[in-house]
């Protein structure tokens, strides 16, 4: 067995997993506060990235300005979604809110298709300078390294945020018990709005970073659907545990990179193997009795 080859693949897998971790952080952030599983997360990232594309590639304005435009548009979109379609559903079953996010997914993908075209022929913006870093047997782009660094920073930063900041603690309080949080003087609507805005900003950042160099095609469905892998990772963390979600994302990335080349599997030419592996992670999270998801659900039901 060529261990050097699999080490190289593992390194590739780690950077791929960092992509998923970027998305998982945003999903966890929104769910941890509002208990809404936001299926439109990828679509928010996608449309924000297209805003950056419009500014940088079509209007030829500075790429940093374009990225800021993506962040601002993501935040505004998140605020709008929360204010006009989620907040009115307070008290309704969570499934209703999930369906609303699915509706937003459809709306946003259709909107992008109408405005910019629904094909995959959109060249990404160039935010990160060209260049590579060599590891044993493999080279990694600066863009991919930045993905990994940002994912690690987000994991740590969000963990600290929830534990040590007033807003973070308020978010946890709202997630635990909305009525009590209100009684304690926490402005629940503002906290939820902040969660959605922050989550959508993370979606925008993830979208811009992931579309660097065309790694994830800039079209109406690739960025929207890559969130499925992020969901798998977030589910493994029970939708509330950031370090577990990060770890699951990395493991999934490594599995997707290494598994197709394993003896016995490589000759099968299994199409859609990355998707199958993500499904496996989801099933594992759902079925294993000691998984974070099962424990989180049990805690909520108690």
Partner 1 sequence: MNPSNGQDRLFNRLLAGAFVLTLGFGLLIAHYYTDLGNRPVATGMSGAGTGGQGPGSDTAGQEAATSAETPGTTGGQATTTAAAGAKAGTTKTTTKAGAAASSAGVSRGSIKVGGIFTETGPFDARPADQSVRAYFQMINAEGGVNGRTLEYISYDDGFDPTQGQNAARRLVEQDKVFAIVGWLAPNSEPAASEYFAKIGIPVIGGLAVPQEFGPRNFFATMANLGKAGAGVARFLCEGGVKKPAIGVVNLPFSTQMIASVKKGLAQCGITPVTADAIDSTEAGWDAKILDWRRKGADSIGVALDPMSYVRLFQALAKQGWHPPTWTVGAADTERNAYVKGALEGVINVESQLVPAVHMNLPGPRRYVETLHKYYPGVTIASDAEISWTAAQVFVEALRRVGPDLTREKLIDTLETFREFKTDVSAPITYLPGDHDAVRCIELLQWKNGGWTDVYPDFQCWDYTPDGGAVKRPSKPFG
**Structure tokens, 294:** 């099962």
**145 near partner 1, rule: CB under 8 A:** no
Return d(Cα 25, Cα 2) in angstroms, integer: 34
Note whether 118 binds partner 1 by CB under 8 A: yes
- The footprint of partner 1 on residues 227-256 (CB under 8 A) is 256
Rounded to the nearest whole angstrom, what is the least distance from the CB of residue 232 to partner 1 in the complex? 16
How far CA 66 is from CA of 127, 142, 211, in Å, comes to: 9, 19, 14
Contact letters for partner 1, residues 156-195 (x by CB under 8 A): ----------------------------------------
> Which of 87, 172, 182, 213 touches partner 1 (CB under 8 A)?
213
What is the closest distance, in whole angstroms, from the C-beta atom of residue 141 to partner 1 in the complex? 6
Phi, psi of 161 (to 5 degrees): -55, -45
189 vs 260, beta carbon nearer partner 1: 260
Q: What SS3 class is residue 93? A: coil
- b/e per residue 71-91 (b: at least 16 CB within 10 A): bebbbebbebbbeeebbeeee
Residue 77 C-beta: closest distance to partner 1, Å: 22
Map the footprint of partner 1 across residues 261-290, applying CB under 8 A: 261, 266, 269, 271, 274
Binding range to partner 1, per CB under 8 A, among 33-41, 45-53, 184-192, 218-226: 218-226
Nearest C-alpha neighbor of 254 from the set 14, 71, 45: 14
Q: Which of 63, 98, 113, 145 binds partner 1 (CB under 8 A)?
A: 113
- Compute the distance between CA of residue 186 and CA of residue 91 in angstroms, rounded to an integer: 18
Please, what is the minimum distance in Å from the beta carbon of residue 202 to partner 1?
Answer: 20
Alpha carbon 55 to chain centroid, angstroms? 23
Q: Which is nearer to partner 1, 125 or 191 (CB)?
A: 125
Cβ nearer to partner 1, comparing 112 with 171: 112
Residue of 68, 138, 167, 297 that binds partner 1 (CB under 8 A): 138
Residues 277, 256: Cα–Cα separation, whole Å: 7
Give the count of beta carbons closer than 10 Å to the beta carbon of residue 260: 16
């Amino acid at each position: 067995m060529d261990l050097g080859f699999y080490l190289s693949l593992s390194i590739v897998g780690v950077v791929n997993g960092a992509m998923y971790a970027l998305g998982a952080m945003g999903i966890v952030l929104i769910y941890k506060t509002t208990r809404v599983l936001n299926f439109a997360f990828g679509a928010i990232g996608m449309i924000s990235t297209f805003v950056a594309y419009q500014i940088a590639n079509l209007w030829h304005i500075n790429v940093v300005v374009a990225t800021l435009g993506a962040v601002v548009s993501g935040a505004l979109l998140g605020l709008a979604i929360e204010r006009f379609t989620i907040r009115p559903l307070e008290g309704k079953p969570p499934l209703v809110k999930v369906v609303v996010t699915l509706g937003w997914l459809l709306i946003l993908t259709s909107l992008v298709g109408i405005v910019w075209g629904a094909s995959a022929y959109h060249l990404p913006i160039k935010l990160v300078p060209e260049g590579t870093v060599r590891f044993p047997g493999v080279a990694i782009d600066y863009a991919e390294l930045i993905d990994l660094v940002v994912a690690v920073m987000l994991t740590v930063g969000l963990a600290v945020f929830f534990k040590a900041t007033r807003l973070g603690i308020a978010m946890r309080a709202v997630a635990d018990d909305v009525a009590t949080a209100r009684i304690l003087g926490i402005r629940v609507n503002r906290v939820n709005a902040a969660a959605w805005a922050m989550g959508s900003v993370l979606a925008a950042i993830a979208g811009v970073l992931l579309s660097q160099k065309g790694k994830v095609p800039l079209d109406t469905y690739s960025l929207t659907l890559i969130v499925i892998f992020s969901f798998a990772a977030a589910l493994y963390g029970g939708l509330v545990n950031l370090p577990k979600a990060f770890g699951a994302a990395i493991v999934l990335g490594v599995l997707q990179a290494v598994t197709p080349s394993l003896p016995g599997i490589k000759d099968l030419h299994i199409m859609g193997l990355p998707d199958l592996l993500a499904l496996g992670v989801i099933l594992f999270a759902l079925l294993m009795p000691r998984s974070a998801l099962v424990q989180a659900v049990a805690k909520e039901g108690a």
